[in-house]
Structure formats: C-alpha cells, structure tokens
Structure 1
Amino acid sequence: MADTSVLQRPTPEFIRERRAENQKARARDFAETLGITEAELVAAHVGHGVTPIDPTPDRLFPLIRDLGDVMALTRNRSCVHERVGTYEPFHGGAQAAMVLGTEIDMRIFPSHWVHGFAIEEATENGPKRSLQIFDAHGDAVHKVHLRPESNVQAFDALVTALAREMPALELTPPPPVAPAKADPAQAEALRAEWERMTDTHQFQRMVHRLKMNRLGAYRVAGEPFARQLAPEAVQIALQSAAADAIPVMIFVGNMGCIQIHGGPIERLVPMGPWINVMDPRFNLHLRADHIAEVWCVNKPTRTGAAISVEGFDAEGSLILQIFAYRKDTPADAWNALTLSLPGVQA
C-alpha cells in the first residue's frame, strides 16, 4: 500500500508528467510506482479532464441509471469484477444501498464513498469517460466506465449536477487486515447456532456474537459446516462450472461495495498468475497466486443448503465467494461440483 504521508509527496505537475510518459500502465499499478494512492493519481488531473463530483450514492445512482449500458467495476487487491449492464433498479439508504438489476447487482456501503471524480481522457480511439469513487484511504471503491453505446449527454448532465470544488484530499492509512479470529472454546456453541440458521445473512451476526470472524469460524466449525480445500480449488471450480454450463454467483468486494455476477460463465483464460473469465458481458481477473486458503462452506437456509467456495489471501482477507445461481435453477449441479473439489492434505 502506498504511503499516505504528507512528507515529500510528488506534486500534481510531476504526477501528470510521469503519467503522460506511461499511459498504458494500469492506474493502480502506476500509482504504486510513484508511492501514491490511486485517488491521488486521479486528483492530480483535476482541471485536466477530471472533475470532482459528489460521491453520495443516493444522489449518484439515479443519474448513473440514465447512462444506459455501461461497465461496472469493483475490485479488491486480488480480484477485479467487471459487469456490463444498466444500473437499475436502485434502492437507496444511508447505511446500505443496493442495485438489483439482472446484470448489475451490487451491495453498497455509503460511508466508504468519500471521494468522487468524473474523468474524460483523450485516447486514439476517442474520448474515454468514467466515474470513479474512492474511500478515505485512497483506494478505489467502484468505477463506472462508459461504452460506445452509453448516453454521453446523460454523463454531461451528471457532471453538471454533481460537480463540486475539489475538497482537501486528506487520506488516512488503511486499517490492518483482521487475522482469523477463532475461539475453540466456543466450538460447540458455534456448531449448534450454525445448524439453526435459516438465512445466510444470519452468519455474520452469529460469529460476531461469539467473538469470532468469518475465517476464524470456518477453522473452528469444521465439517460438515466448513471443509478446507486446496488453493487450486477455486480455479477448478470455475473451470468445471464453465465446462458443465453450471450457473454461479460470484461475489467480489471491498469495504465500500460488493458486486455480484449471476449466471453462466463460459470462457476461462489463464494468463501468468491471473485466472480470467472473458465473457462478452462479464469479466473476472483473479490473482491465483494470492489465494492462500480456500473453504467450502455449507450454510442452512429455509430453501436448502447454500454452499459456497471462498478464497482468502495470506493475511486473511476475503478475495471472492462463489455460490450456486439459484434463481429458477436447482443447486444440485453446483453442490455436486463442490463435493468433487480437492481438500487440503492432512
């Protein structure tokens, strides 16, 4: 993570000059080479194709809807989730909000939507327009990229409606990742409460009440609730789902946003350390070498077991979750697939 100290920070002019010399590098990677956050990189271009905007979701999303077909991007440090679609319908709220479209499906936590920018940059293929939101630490929360068929007039109207003076970009260091928090003395209580679950949303409240977290609870509960898999199980699950046309739900998120793909995946393209899903309206870019721990998790619900494959990095951060796509589709094929995934060696 880039140092957000105010000492010896590169000037906006310096940042713009260096960026002009290296326009092909991904923004996040380029920012790291300068020792700055991605938000600082974007803010350095205010007045040079970048306009600060109000990032409040309740103001932003009704206007994003008018853009029509766009690409929604949510990422964490190990996985990028890209979905093409329209942002509707939107359900606002001060603590949590949602987009519940058939293609763009998101859970939004507005307190982390701190810095917003509208970006228009010239390229050899014409103007490239996007909306980019960052948290208080300068990390990207969510991005909206316009496509050739998107409504440019609606983009201009959004910028006019939400433009604001550039606020001070006072960034704070990100909190450390919470390691696995487990309490083996609570194992029996955990298993008893787990067995009584009727909805997956009860899980986080349950483990918090028992003073654990997600990964710690998995380690304590053991089978049949949680089975540890080999790190390569995530790639095998994606390959099998694609090969057998098993529809899935793929959740990728950060502190401010969770983005969900629901439906089939078709084309897997491994490239170096990356596992890539390259479908016409859904792309996933996953760093396989970041996956340190994988669990197959069985949560009881009123409508049957919700079985997921979940990948974590070496620090204990959740990278992604994969579930069965249960809308009008039995979960039997996915559930059978998870049983075939390799476990860790004893």
Structure 2
Amino acid sequence: MLDTQKPTAATIREKRAENPKMRDRDFADSLGISEADLVAAHVGHGVTVIDAHPDNIMPQAEKLGEVMALTRNPSCVIERVGTYNNYHTGKHAAMILDAEIDLRIFPKFWEHAFAVEKETDAGVRRSIQIFNGVGDAVHKIHLRDTSDQGAWDGVVEALRLDTQSDTLDLREKGEPEAPHADPAKADQLRAEWDQMTDTHQFQKVLSKLKMNRLGSYRIAGEPYVRRLASGTVEQAFEKIAETGIGVMIFVGNRGCIQIHGGPCENLKTMGPWFNVLDPRFDMHLRSDHIAEIYAVRKFAHGGEALSLEAFDAEGRIILQIFPYRRASEENAVVWKDILSALPSKGTVS
C-alpha cells in the first residue's frame, strides 16, 4: 500500500544517491513508495515525463532499432532483445507482432511513462518506462549498445509532455482477485470447455459462468486440467533444454503480456531465482512464489492446446508455457510427452 505521507521528491533523490546500487523496485519498497514514484522523483534529473499511450510510444520505439523489451509481474521477469515492429492498435487491446518482441498490450493500464537517462559505471543507460495507475511497472524498453542512440533525443522530444512534474497522484493498490468458481457449475464448465474451438474463447466461458482462471481449474478436473507437484516448472524447463524444443512463454501483468517464442537453453538457479540466460532472451522466475501448477488441455482449431500454468499464493498467474506454434508437429508431440511425464500433486481439491 502506498503511504499517503510519502517522502518528497528531493528526499527520494537524496536517499537514492546514498544507495545507488539497489534494484529500483526493492529500493522503492524500502521507502514505502511505488517504483513510479521513484522514477518521477528524478524528473528534471535525467528523467522526462512522456506520453504513455502505446499508439504514440510504439512508433517511436521502432526508431530506436535493436533494444531490450522487459515485462514482469511480482514473480517473473521476461526480457527479449529485438526491434519493435508490426504494431497493431486497438482500443482495448493492441499488439506488437514480431518474431522476437511479441506483445499483447492493454492501453487503459498505460497511465504514466518516462524517458530515463541514468549514469552507471558502464556509462549512460537509456530506457522508456511505463507504469499503471498504482505505480507498478507495466513495460520497459531498454536501449543497448546496438541501439540507435542517435535517435534517442528525437524520440524523447516527440513524446515529451508539457507538464513535467516530479510527483504523481496514484491510486491505492487493491487486493488481487481471489480464485472463485461455483462447484455446482462444474458440469456446465466442462460442457462449455468441450465446445471451445479456440483458446481465446476461454475467457468468454469464464465470464459467462462468473469464474476466474484459477477457480475454474480447481473444479474442472481431468482430462481438462491436472494439478502438478511442486518443482515441475523447473523440471519442465530442464526437459525443454534437454530436448531442444521451442516453446512459447507468456509472462505479464494486467497492462502487458510478453511472449517468448523459441528454445530455452542455458538454465541457472541463483538463490530463489530460476533463470533462463540465453544470448537474446532472459527469464527470471521466483520459484518460491509458485503455489499451484497445472497442466491444462484446451482445444484450438480442431487440435489440442496443451499448457503448463503456474500461480502464486494469491491466485495470480505467474507464467504460461505452450509449444512454439511456428515449429514442427514433432515439437508439439515432444511438449505433450514432457507434460505427461510431470508428476501430479494428487486429486485437485
């Protein structure tokens, strides 16, 4: 929860100067402020307030060339090097459709944005950072040595807002939506599930039955879902790396979902973090945040869509893994075998 008596921008800058190496999010938590508050406090000190709407940001991001796209939720961070191409606008949902940077964007949550220039031991680091109305990060675009650094000033000027304030008026953060479903509607859920021809229809089924994703999984039962034992997310990644198959990893928040499509090869555990550290793709997962894991079977265009989905203790989805759609049929078969071999937790309660 945000503290209504949060420190002034000057105090935030002073405290940050005393502790420059802590991760932004951790430092903000230590002061009882949001990450957006921390960034805003530096407006006029390397930070510029910019237009937050994706219709305006995405055409400018394309001018930056090769960058790193980052999206996260409280338990997982996904990072991909690529370019912002093929933007499709939409009032409720927009998209970047590129082989490397693949995003699903929900514009109403893109409320505050900043162009950031930060002095580091490695030189000036530049980024565009977008936040929602409670100050949580929605999406970030980090320039790299291979980016078009010369385009930066023009991009910032094109997006710059007239009002440059170092304080934000943020909403209070609400509680996550608890898992909910009506066990009396379990048969109706299964009947609706059988009628689906596309995975995108699932949300309509949930809305019709007044359920949410995790709630429905808890009552659906096999063959629709199978609850998996703890540690199976890591086991799945080990098999993905061992077999060399391509997967699609969905990680996001209410404002942005980022999708990695391809292999996951270099795995490394560091404390509570389970990491994929590949040349153009990184994922950082807090394994200790995973509370429930499911193997899920839906239908798509006459075939199966098989996913592994992990949730935290408050019912929020952490990540989803599907077989990579651009790969061969054999790729999907191997993924099915990997899922089938993962141990069950037991009867879903």
Q: 1:64-143 residue pairs with structure 2 within 5 A? A: 64-143=61-140
* 2:333 corresponds to 1:332: yes
User: How far did residue 328 of structure 1 move?
Assistant: 3.5
* 2:34 corresponds to 1:37: yes
User: How far did residue 50 of structure 1 move?
Assistant: 0.3
Aligned to 1:265: 264
User: How far did residue 268 of structure 1 move?
Assistant: 0.4
TM, length-normalised to structure 2: 0.96
Conservation of the 8 A alpha-carbon contact between 1:74 and 1:253: yes
Q: 1:180-199 residue pairs with structure 2 within 5 A? A: 180-199=179-198
Conservation of the 8 A alpha-carbon contact between 2:35 and 2:137: yes
Q: 1:247-326 residue pairs with structure 2 within 5 A? A: 247-326=246-325
AA matched with 1:66: K
User: What is the DSSP-based 3-state SS (H/G/I as helix, E as strand, rest coil) of the residue aligned with 1:182?
Assistant: coil
Q: 1:173-212 residue pairs with structure 2 within 5 A? A: 173-212=172-211
Aligned to 2:157: 160
- 2:278 and 2:295 map into 1 onto residues whose CA distance is 25
Conservation of the 8 A alpha-carbon contact between 1:228 and 1:343: yes
AA matched with 2:118: E
Aligned to 2:23: 26
Conservation of the 8 A alpha-carbon contact between 1:66 and 1:151: yes
- Which runs of 5 or more residues in structure 2 are unaligned? none
Aligned to 1:237: 236
Aligned to 1:51: 48
Deviations 1:233-252 (A, max 9, x none): 11111111011101100000
AA matched with 2:89: G
User: What is the DSSP-based 3-state SS (H/G/I as helix, E as strand, rest coil) of the residue aligned with 1:25?
Assistant: coil
- 2:141 and 2:280 map into 1 onto residues whose CA distance is 14
AA matched with 1:236: Q
List 4+ stretches of structure 1 deviating above 3 A.
none
- 2:168 and 2:49 map into 1 onto residues whose CA distance is 11
Q: Do the aligned partners of residues 179 and 275 (structure 1) sit closer, same or farther apart at CA in structure 2, a change above 3 Å counting?
A: same
User: How far did residue 126 of structure 1 move?
Assistant: 1.4
- Which runs of 5 or more residues in structure 1 are unaligned? none
- 1:290 and 1:32 map into 2 onto residues whose CA distance is 18
Aligned to 1:344: 345
Aligned to 1:6: 4
- 1:39 and 1:290 map into 2 onto residues whose CA distance is 23
Conservation of the 8 A alpha-carbon contact between 1:63 and 1:154: no
- 2:302 and 2:114 map into 1 onto residues whose CA distance is 42
- 2:115 and 2:206 map into 1 onto residues whose CA distance is 39
User: How far did residue 326 of structure 1 move?
Assistant: 1.9
AA matched with 1:20: A
Conservation of the 8 A alpha-carbon contact between 1:112 and 1:255: yes
| Aligned-pair Cα RMSD in Å | 1.0
User: How far did residue 14 of structure 1 move?
Assistant: 1.2
- 1:205 and 1:174 map into 2 onto residues whose CA distance is 26
Aligned to 2:57: 60
AA matched with 2:343: P
AA matched with 2:230: P
User: What is the DSSP-based 3-state SS (H/G/I as helix, E as strand, rest coil) of the residue aligned with 1:337?
Assistant: helix
User: What is the DSSP-based 3-state SS (H/G/I as helix, E as strand, rest coil) of the residue aligned with 1:300?
Assistant: strand
User: How far did residue 124 of structure 1 move?
Assistant: 2.2
Deviations 1:90-140 (A, max 9, x none): 111221100000000000000000000000111222110000000000000
Deviations 1:196-236 (A, max 9, x none): 11000000110110111101111111000000001211111
TM, length-normalised to structure 1: 0.97
Q: What is the percentage of aligned positions where both structures have the same residue?
A: 56
Count of aligned positions = 343
Deviations 1:55-89 (A, max 9, x none): 11001101101111000000000000001000111
User: What is the DSSP-based 3-state SS (H/G/I as helix, E as strand, rest coil) of the residue aligned with 1:286?
Assistant: strand
Deviations 1:254-304 (A, max 9, x none): 010000000111000011111000000000000000000001000011141
User: What is the DSSP-based 3-state SS (H/G/I as helix, E as strand, rest coil) of the residue aligned with 1:181?
Assistant: coil
